[in-house]
Amino acid sequence: MLEMNRNLVLNVLRTGAASRAEVVRQTGLSPATVSLIVSELVESGLVNEVGQGKSSGGRPPVVLRLDDERNNVVGVKLMRQGISVAVTDLRSEVLYSELAPLTLGRSRRREAAGSQGGFDGQTVGPGPVLESVSVAIERSVARAGLGLDQVVGVGIGLAGLVQPGTGVCRYSPPFGWENVAVAAPISDRLRRPVLVDNDVNTLTVAEQWFGRGQGVDNFIVVTVGEGVGAGIVVDGKLYRGAGGAAGEIGHIPLADQPAPCRCGNSGCLEALSSDDAVRRYVAEALERGEQSALAGKDDLSMAALRHAAEAGDRVAIEALEKAGRMLGLGIAGLVNTLDPRLVILSGEGTQAGSLRSDAALAVMRQRSFAGIGRKVDFVVDSTDDVAWARGAACIVLGELFSPPIRRSIELTPIPKRPSRAFADREPSP
Ligand SMILES: [Zn+2]
């Protein structure tokens, strides 16, 4: 109960400064309860008592605000193509963001730049990758005008299976990693707590905090691109499953088909609806001798496919629509399982135009049980990499804003210290 009340108070302060009376009014909690929670938050260093609000006659009220000066967070989306970093304040406002290059071994950079955008089954040594991430974080924090001592924690999202609360990546197809400690080396170097999560989960938290999922208790985010995945929010909480693998919908066995999947099985949803699946449908049509402007093109990009489809190329149109119908079957299964209010379709694959998403929506509506799919709101949200990184920052904020006893890692607000002007006069260590 206290935890819920604490979140109510924090949610008021996340939208801006407020007096105790305003917090009481907005939360509906008793003045005594608000006083108790506020004292604890001020004590912990998350909330400051500042200035004086507008007086209504008597003693002017003290205004409460989140302490953004001492407490900031960093979110990272780690991809084969680069590192997206966002430095945010406690209200998840982005202070600075950048897309930094990722250092891979010399022989591997060529693979990462290939038309498939990675996912070639090659293992990438974690050392240089994690060092690149640390360097990008240090640089971004400096460019935001902050010191690392003003960062409460770092959140990192990457594609793959992450064991909740351990910072260990059990399996990551783009990097070929198995059981790689991602959090520890970065945390050791930066001397900051580091949380790691699946990247679709970080995007889902971004949608929940400042995107289309705001105020929606039950929704799913489906991402499509080189892979297919989902983030699941049930009763207002991100659902990770027993071992962190919830939402791996790309590997729902959809059909008894020979379509090979990079997980080693075949007929998976991902193998039938991802960008690679679209390319395979095009190749199959060309093999059958169908006429297309795409004939003879080796590196088939999604942009080229979209261009061809928009110019009326039947092979391109049918490939995108077929992938969309398969995606719709997968989403219908998810809708039947979870009965969400909202489905958000995202991921880089949404940039290939609306043919795949339109087909997915039609099939989801048609094939869900008892018409529940017709009541689901469906939106396409082509978020950029900064939104994913910002979501990773929100995962840290979510931990920070939860009571210490519920936190999965040690995460404490930065303690109060002498004002900076005073600290500047002290000899440096
Ligand atoms: Zn699979």
Residue 33 has pLDDT above 50, yes or no: yes
What is the structure's pLDDT at 135? 97
Output the pLDDT for position 52.
Answer: 64
Q: Examine the residue annotation and report whether 199 is marked as an active-site residue of this protein.
A: yes
Task: Note whether 2-66 and 72-203+386-415 share their fold.
Answer: no
With a pLDDT cut of 70, the percent of the chain lying above it is 88
pLDDT in tens, 266-308: 999 999 999 999 999 999 999 999 999 999 887 788 999 999 9
pLDDT band at 259 (very low <50, low <70, confident <90, very high): confident
Q: Is the confidence at residue 90, as pLDDT, over 80?
A: yes
| pLDDT computed for residue 5 by the predictor | 84
pLDDT of residue 416: 63
> Which pLDDT score is estimated for 277?
95
Residue 116 has what pLDDT?
A: 35
Whether the Cβ atoms of residue 77 and residue 199 lie closer than 8 Å to each other: yes
Residue 51 backbone zone (phi > 0: left; psi -120 to 50: alpha; other: beta):
left
**pLDDT over 50 (residue 382):** yes
Which residue among the candidates 197, 199, 276, 385 is catalytic per the annotation? 199
| Domain 214-380 annotated CATH 3.20.20.140 | no
How far from the centroid of its chain's Cα atoms is residue 216's Cα? 17
* N residues, the chain: 429
What is the pLDDT, as a whole number, of residue 59? 66
How many angstroms is it from 36 CA to the middle of ligand 1? 51
- Ligand 1 mean position to 253 CA, how many Å? 7
Q: What does the pLDDT average to over 108-124?
A: 46
Long-range contacts of range 250-255, CB-CB < 8 Å, 24 or more positions apart? 250/274, 252/330, 252/333, 254/326, 254/329, 254/330
What is the mean pLDDT of the segment spanning 153-163? 94
Mean pLDDT score of the chain, rounded to an integer?
87
pLDDT for position 16: 85
The residues, ordered by sequence, that sit 6+ positions from 375 with a Cβ below 8 Å of its Cβ are: none
CATH architecture under which domain 72-203+386-415 falls: 2-Layer Sandwich (3.30)
Global pTM reads 0.83
Sorted by where each begins, the domain ranges of the chain are 2-66, 72-203+386-415, 214-380
Where do we find the tokens 């931990």? 399
CA of 298 to the centre of ligand 1 (A): 25
Average pLDDT on 394-416 reads 72
pLDDT of residue 172 exceeding 70, the answer is yes
Fold of 2-66: Arc Repressor Mutant, subunit A (1.10.10)
Residue 404 Cα, ligand 1 centroid: separation in angstroms?
A: 38
Q: Which of 140, 247, 208, 211 is CA-nearest to residue 383?
A: 211
Q: Give me the residues paired with residue 257 across strands.
A: none
Average pLDDT estimate for 236-263: 90
**pLDDT tops 50 at residue 424:** no
| Distance from residue 268's CA to the centre of ligand 1 (Å) | 5
